[in-house]
Amino acid sequence: MPPEPRTDRVPTRDWRDDARFAAQFVRAPVATASVWPSSSALARTVADAALGSVPPRRPEGPVVVELGAGSGAFTLELARRLNGRGRHLAVELNPALAHRLAERLPTVEVVPADVAELPTLLAVRGLPAAGGVDVVVSGLGWSATRPGREDSLLPVVASTLAAGGVFVQFGYTFTRWAGPARALEQELRDLFGEVTTSPTVWRNLPPAVVHRAAHPVRT
């Protein structure tokens, strides 16, 4: 029989963490990337895309990796949906945000590191660097993934996913027609067999969309 899921209570969102996030942006804008955390409405849309139709590969639950967890807007919603099943890794470069997230969510494996080291981070934690992850959720800005460049993170992310794996990336509607956003959408179509985009999530500042890319193409 599969192990019983942990039932640790997931804390509710705390406005003080949002304020801390904004303060960290002022102190370290490159490491924090965004001036304000994502809304609960966007977090629900991201979680729906990430966990709504992931094929079960293991009885204990999926392996979920979050890139750029920030103050935990997506982390909280993903942890609530997982309810202790599987493994949930949250990678966050900003040490202050990573420390606070680890305090609030002890069942999430918070990794204070650069997402560019993703294969190594997985291997250190006993996960295959290739094909061992079911879901990757990105809280990084579109430009932070460096789409269309030789050092793009997207092929690295795609290589970590299982055959039926899912990658979820949000982005702001008003920048969707900018070069990095167009490059990201094109690279997703090149790397995945199925790419869909959500309607605009208006209850976010600024309004956003969510890309869901499934079935990474193996070359």
Number of structural domains the chain divides into: 1
Q: What mean pLDDT, rounded, does the chain reach?
A: 84
Q: Residue 171: inside a domain, yes or no?
A: yes
Check: CB of residue 77 under 8 Å from CB of residue 39.
no
Q: Residue 123: inside a domain, yes or no?
A: yes
Provide CB contacts within 8 A for 36, sequence distance 6+.
18, 21, 22, 25, 205
- How many angstroms separate the CA atoms of 170 and 45, rounded? 9
Give tens-digit pLDDT for 117-165.
999 999 999 999 999 999 999 998 877 888 888 889 999 999 999 999 9
Q: Residue 10: inside a domain, yes or no?
A: no
Q: Residue 55: inside a domain, yes or no?
A: yes
What is the domain range of residue 95?
Answer: 19-216
- How many angstroms separate the CA atoms of 23 and 17, rounded? 10
Q: Residue 14: inside a domain, yes or no?
A: no
Among candidate residues 116, 128, 189, the one with its CA nearest the CA of residue 162: 128
- In the block, which residue shows the tokens 């055959």? 163
Q: Residue 13: inside a domain, yes or no?
A: no
Q: Residue 91: inside a domain, yes or no?
A: yes
Q: How far is CA 199 from CA 8, 134, 135, 180, 213, in A?
A: 33, 24, 21, 20, 15
pLDDT number for residue 10: 66
Q: Residue 6: inside a domain, yes or no?
A: no
Written as tens digits, the pLDDT of the chain (219 aa) is 333 444 456 665 454 545 444 444 434 434 434 445 779 999 999 999 999 877 667 778 899 999 999 889 999 999 999 999 999 999 999 888 899 999 999 999 999 999 999 999 999 999 999 999 999 999 988 778 888 888 899 999 999 999 999 999 998 898 888 888 899 999 999 999 999 999 999 999 889 999 999 999 987
CATH of the domain at 174: 3.40.50.150
